[in-house]
Chains A and B, each alone.
Chain A
Amino acid sequence: MSSPMNQSKRAHGRGRVSLRGIRKSFGTFEALKGIDLDIEPVEFFALLGPSGSGKTTTLRVLAGLTPPDEGLMTVDGVDVTHSQPGERDVAMVFQNYALYPHMTLEANIGFPLKMDGVPKNQIPGMVRDAAAKVKIDHLLHRRPGQLSGGQQQRCALARAIVRQPRLFLLDEPLSNLDAQLRLETRVELKKLQRSLDVTTVYVTHDQEEAMTIADRMAVFLDGSIVQVGTPDEVFNKPSNVDVAAFIGSPSMNLIEGHLNGKTVSIGDYRFDLPKLSNHPSGNVIVGIRPSHIALGGAGLTANLYLSENLGESMLLNFKVGDNLIKVRLPEVRSFTDNEVVHLTFDSAHVHLFDPKSGIRIDL
């Protein structure tokens, strides 16, 4: 059902995106402070970050809706920095879907084909195919106002995929769905992307979402990219404290400590790292995830502040001096208030960061 031109495009591994030095300011606010990014063809790439970090602006630059002040954007080697959105062969699903409320679903999905000059007799078939892929082909005669949020989102998806673009952009598509629907749709989105073989850029502020769905991701903070990598890399090797604190739920514990050769000390607690690091001795920030802390042993003295029973596990909050340390316990036990406990860190999963720059210290 795709046009000959599209088929040949796909054969050439199309949809390689490259951004170099992209800057954008709105008045005095610097939204993008020099973005460099390479996205491989057909990969599912997430732009992750808190609100205002620049991820949506970057997406809009990719779409051509927000022209950058400086920088270069190429797709498959062609400079498209200032091309009009309609010239880029890009499709986008907006956060609130932006469906045309006065048109039926069929007309909505067929609109890009109509604008593109696809022969009228081919349009219904292509519309039906796209709708079937997202399972709304039985709703084509309805209007967006008559549909649920989930169905509207599928319609927005269908409208985006119907003309088989080489770049597929999604702006927080799941944020308007309820929690249960979000989990289900997440899986379906991933499967859809696989079946379509199209480069996908996905904006989200939910790090769990990005971790489960993306092939690779870029973490945005304050208008810059602080780390690019696979979910595994970002989770297990965060490049600085900000990324470390952002990724993972509950977030990584970060405590001040001291490094001396191979030994890390936090107060009276001492433990050895598996490897000697090249970093000179001095103060460090120690990062350890809640699931990598055990109770007992000759560890850090802590007072239980709050215990949360999650059903199959517990989340314990401990006070160590001025710090609040979170520990995930894989079993359920009872505790007394202010119970004194010793915490032992799994030294194989300890992260160290430079206290001044916040950058990861490699072991």
Chain B
Amino acid sequence: MKNRDSTKYLRNATLFALASILLFIWVFPLVWAVVVSLKSEAEVLAYPPRIIFEATAQNFKDALFGGVSILPSLITSLIVSTATTILTILIAVPAAYAFARLELRGKKWLGFYTLATQMVPPVGLVIPYFLILNKVGWLDSYQGMITVYLTFSLPFAIWLLVSYMEDIPREMEEAAFLDKANRFQALWHVILPQVRGGIAVTIIFVFLNAWNEFLFAVQLGGNTVRPVTVAMYNFVSVEQTLWAKLSAAALIAMVPMIIIGITAQKQIVKGLTVGAVKGGGRQ
């Protein structure tokens, strides 16, 4: 008996060690970024790189309040991401309900169309958008950016929500109709409360994708609309890269995402795997 226990223990220990090494590979870049952000610029350039040093919060202060502060960009990202998310949900929920529940002629084609719109590579959209927004004068504007962000948020949200709504048994709504509810009341009182979880997952993913978006942000924005992903480049130029400040700024920009990631991890994994079961989709 003792032999078996010890081999089992050895086995578990090796597995754990192996997994921990791999874990390390994924944790390390972030950890190193934190380390660098706490160094002064001079310290960063020291060679060989030191692990023990005098930590300073100066970089964070500079990133937030200094000359090239990313604070305005944080606000911009917040506005754009929030507006995109709200608009997306308002439009996608009824559309998803109609797809999932109602008998529509050509429903299959509509579903395929929604799926296909997700397949379009962003570069294929940024070109026409640039040309169109240029003509309309909406470059570097909030309305332009948010409209463009709907491009990738909406199909994804509809597709996600449809799969959640399809899971609700038909009898639930039929019981509501027999209880004299009309379609709107059935949707509001019966269906929506049950897809609350699905809506939460959708919100998380839409917000995440909007916040992290880069291509549209850099091409279609400018000085007014400069999301935080673009603001990173405040610290990168042809002459030099301000390493420590860049790390600090990037970390600040990513903090909201990390918080969401950790607190909503169950929802996120659920969202990823819903995609895995039903197919297609972004991110």
Contacts and interface: CB of A to CB of B under 8 A. Distances in A.
Interface stretch (B36-44, B189-197, B243-251, B256-264): B189-197
B175 interface: yes
A124 interface: no
B71 interface: no
B176 interface: yes
A95 B171 CA distance: 9
Q: How large is the interface on B (under 10, 10 to 19, 20 to 34, 35 or more residues)?
A: 10 to 19
Interface in B99-129: none
B181 interface: yes
B174 interface: yes
A90 B178 CA distance: 7
Residue with the greatest number of chain B CB neighbours at <10 A, chosen from A101, A112, A115 = A115
B65 interface: no
Contact of A96 (B171, B180, B190): B171
Interface string A221-248: 0000000000000000000000000000
A158 B171 CA distance: 17
A63 interface: yes
B5 interface: no
A85 B174 contact: yes
A92 B178 CA distance: 7
| Minimum-distance CB pairs A-B, first 7 | A112-B179, A98-B171, A86-B180, A98-B175, A102-B193, A115-B180, A85-B177
Given A98-B169, A98-B171, A111 B179 contact: yes
A23 interface: no
Contacts of A31: none
Contacts of B172: 98, 100
A86 B182 contact: yes
Given A64-B178, A86-B178, A94-B171, 14 more contacts: A63-B174, A65-B178, A84-B177, A86-B179, A90-B178, A91-B178, A92-B175, A92-B178, A94-B174, A96-B171, A100-B175, A102-B196, A111-B181, A116-B179
A205 interface: no
Contacts of B181: 86, 111, 115
Interface in B155-189: 169, 171-172, 174-182, 185, 189
A339 B253 CA distance: 90
B180 A112 contact: yes
Contacts of B174: 63, 65, 85, 92, 94, 98
B74 to A, nearest CB: 36
A154 interface: no
A22 B40 CA distance: 85
